[in-house]
Amino acid sequence: MKIEGACHCGYLSFEAEVDPDDTSICHCTDCQTLSGSPFRVSVPTERQDFRLMSGEPAIYVKIGDSGARRVQAFCPQCGTPIYSTALDDHAARLNLRVGAIRQRDRLVPRRQIWAHSAQRWLSAIAGLRSFEKEGAD
């Protein structure tokens, strides 16, 4: 599936080919902290199937629980996360952040990883009152 994406401010934009069936949710504490959310949704793409159309991402290298160093690429202007990848493996796939992809409604997660770190209250959100917009009652 061909996708297009961009950061919030529009400085970074990209195109890629992805397999929607590879979309996953990660509950690791690093993803929680780096996304500012209780989990992160990603879809992988091969490096040769990713094209940066505008801008140049800022890079932060984190060290995971396994000791592996992971590149975190994000917009230097607005901070939108774009992808992560292995630092030392130039053939490694890019894990695109679904929130920055225009077709995100078609990228339905098929699995969850690091579930032991999932916030316990996530299973209860389906029962919460819901509003179409903020401030609506």
Cβ pair 25, 41 in contact under 8 A: yes
User: Residue 129's pLDDT is what?
Assistant: 85
> pLDDT tens for residues 67-82?
889 999 999 999 999 9
Is residue 97 within 8 A of residue 83, CB to CB? The reply is: yes
pLDDT of res. 98: 98
The per-residue DSSP string of 57-91 comes to: -EEEEEE-TTS-EEEEEE-TTT--EEEEEESS-TT
| Beta-carbon-side half-sphere exposure of residue 127 (alpha carbons within 13 Å) | 4
Residue type, 27: H
As a whole number of angstroms, the distance between CA 95 and CA 74 comes to 12
pLDDT score at 38:
95
Instruction: Report the pLDDT value the prediction gives residue 137, as an integer from 0 to 100.
Output: 58
Residue 54, pLDDT score:
97
Q: What pLDDT, on a 0 to 100 scale, did the predictor assign at position 125?
A: 86
Instruction: Please give the chain's pLDDT, 137 residues, in tens.
Output: 999 999 999 999 999 999 999 999 999 999 999 999 999 999 999 999 999 999 999 999 999 777 889 999 999 999 999 999 999 887 789 999 999 999 999 999 999 999 999 999 998 988 888 888 876 55
